[in-house]
Structure 1
């Protein structure tokens, strides 16, 4: 006969007055941890005790119960009750539910205390998220939940955001199939289908980081920090019905816009409105674009406007602002970190000063009516307005009045005021010159042909003299360069030299925002501010510059005509560009690149999805990754689809200092070294300028995707 299983008898429970309880020395908790006594007391005050105290009777010398009880397990609850009594929120003899153990129980009081704290298991985070969501669904307020659980509303919102993740991903998390960090990354998006799609993608990717998850969930959205958002403002976008995704667990710089099409519509509408406002000033045309092309003004004449002087009120305001800014800077000069309000105040002063210093310009009405303006958006969301550009077809035509005496020079009058009388031309040759009375002779201008012959002789003499004076020759070429770079409407120079500024048949849309483009633009603006408005004053200005300044300006102008682009050679000869000319151009550019130490990585170029990988095939992507990082990295992404492969390649090559072959500068014996290939610069060119991993692997075949 089987032995009967002995039944367990539970310890009885009863209500014991609080003033008959004392804390036992057998309680093993000595170190404070978790919720403080005060917070626990507040929780008991709201919902009373959720767990009884574990007590044992206190015996006297004769082993008789004294009516007092010690508390070996539940000491923190006991102290919280004592605090409520001290705060007069609980009577001192309030009945307390207790589980009473026998004083002579074979299990020690210390073991009870240790067991209560050891076998307690914290609630799974997913259960916390779901519980808070259930409370919200029943009408609980986020702030109230935060107050009840001694936390902040931000933490509650984070928990609720985690509760909104796809239930399928909750199941994966509950079974320890993903980390809490990964789950937090999925909370960026509210699209459950997209969340599940990205989770499936992780199953085929070696990269399962939270950052990768966020990048995939936000790839079809627009950052709030985008200049288009700053241009139309986030409030306008939200008011128009646009949605915003936020990351409650990491700094998201404002979040992501979920409706890029709506954003583009708002941007276009505001650009059109701004164009109408600028057009109302009297301009013939206004061109708008989010990113104005690099060479939008190529071939256009820039008008020279007149700067509007400051009024007395504006000058006084500028002095006041400068004094206020200087006072703040002096006051906080020794503080390593400025308070936010002081930094904000200084930024506001700088902005207002900038508006006062950046003076508007006025233009002649007849010029304004044939010219136009460009409107685009700056990186900070402000509007870039470039006024005063005349198209070649809008240039005024100059009608020359023809006379019977100007047939030799096509109807033009000689610059020396000389006649074009054929008879005078014949006399200039010295044949059959008639005799005339001195008193009847009138001093006539020299014939044009004679002037041409004389000035031809003078030209040769001037060429010889200029060749003997390198410094003056340098300034003469510099003068021609500056005319072309800064005074496109003026071509009056004695040098038959044309500095054609480089333009690109194909250019990235963000080329104007690249590091080199910003540096060139800033340098050009600095020189433009130092040069006179009229080209008639240019000679005097150039001669006043010292050698170092002339050299720096010369280098800037020379750089503008450099073209190292490998243009697309047309199938049929167009008379402008050929394969041979492109090859020679690139060879010469490599010499210059080696000489100046060109470093495109340091200049800021990186292989990105939009700038490179989306334009090449999958085999090319794999070959590039193999070239930069090795075959093992290429194999890791070989199974991915083209968009995902491109994104992974961008991440892998971000810090690899890798360049595609067309951007590399070939080495060779022709590379210049110190003292080899270039003589020392002449004295007038010397002086400081103005401020301003291989793997042995089999490459993948390059084939069409």
Structure 2
């Protein structure tokens, strides 16, 4: 039976089959605010008496409660239309399932037509958006879709294209352009929304394009340009007449180039609406200019900086230097080097005699700012004062006999380098567009190009080849680590039959015949072999992507690498070893070795950190978990955290006056007298006797 129940008498039920939280409650609240609850809720009697549980209609209930909490309606007085159903729990769940299963949401096409029809009588988009709990942009987007070219809207209504695809076509209001792209892409199952959006965007210009920023929207619109508001992307609006924008930009840049050229007395200034001069200098000669000479004062200062830096380097090489002192010297050194580079990096000088013979380019930056290049070119080779060429490049006539056939035009004349490059790019683009339809082939090609690199230098026609990383120099006699052994074993297990054919094409076909597991193994080894040890030669930091990979894989370096005398302990100072012992075992442990030679401490450390020494459980656990900060993935470590001097302290006996651990006095070790600082016996094979 159908009746009304006060909102306050309703509550949510576990018998409702919809377990996910209802979405867009705000929109439902807006609809209830405008028209009330138009569809009955299905409820069943509940305890305490007079209460009802909601079997179906949770979203309507939550929308009404949102209005009640906002004070717009009174839950105790607000009547909710309900239909009361009865039955056991199984029956009620079946009713809930049936009600939800039979309800069919409006299709996007139906929503578009409905909003379009509604707005014919009420043209206030903001009011409509408010009444339906949507944003203005959502309503405008549905209206844009309602005005799609007829074949595209029909495809959306019939479910032949998705809502995302329809939005991609709706990224422009130009129906002719929509239809052109739809005819090209609309019948392919391999095309996605991004490809459609890019195809449409090729005929438009972003409002953030450097040319658009230079021209300005006001000037563009005043000249008759059209701007389309982008409703389905955050990329910004688009200009529908890019040719007009280019014409306006060319006029602006040509006027500025003329003004600057006359002002500086240059032979010519050519405007280029890009930051790159690629192709623009093909027929020109670069003019090499000497930098401005140093003044006597600047030269004297430069020599003084060199002398001071040599002194600083000697002072910083002292192992006994205090940290604060070292930091101050290092800061002064960096400051002087920067000053030296500034003094010796003067811009080139263009003499008045040469100004009338050379020119340069006016380029356009990404922010729409015009910049005059500081590199100069001449149209013919120039001679310097001594008769030598002042041009860095010269033109030469190309011999067509050495050119490939595709670089020669009919009649035997060579194509211009620029035209040949343009044709090559277009040929590449055709292949690139075609390979989009076959991701499997693209994957095979990528893996082959990366895996086949060991054959030597070969051109595979792609930039994704994985070259060997340029690792820092490693000792030739260093024993193989556990990780290196694992890499070798993985490489030996690979299916290498495809590497036997001679030509790259034959090897590629053989590689394609491998099964998925074999290809996956090649992929893993290839990627693993491409990892770089450091972001660059000068950086000590861990690559953040490596750190993320390590966290995903839950890598624990201590399980793969253990410090030994050869790979660590012999290569750091005695003070570092004592500080390390303090870190894992406390001051008492370190105090036992203050009087020992560095070599003895290194040997003992090797046993301790390999878990072979007899010691307390906590100390052993800390030692087995320890690796240098430089081997950790979760932090960046400065290279000077350790003194990597192979000879540091090898033959130093500890004097009572110089017994320090990491710069601290021995008193800090908690040692009462000198007797406790006696060196370990040579016979002692353990680091610590069990206490």
TM-score between both structures, scaled by the size of structure 1:
0.43
Kindly name which structure, 1 or 2, has the bigger radius of gyration based on alpha carbons: 1
TM-score between both structures, scaled by the size of structure 2:
0.44
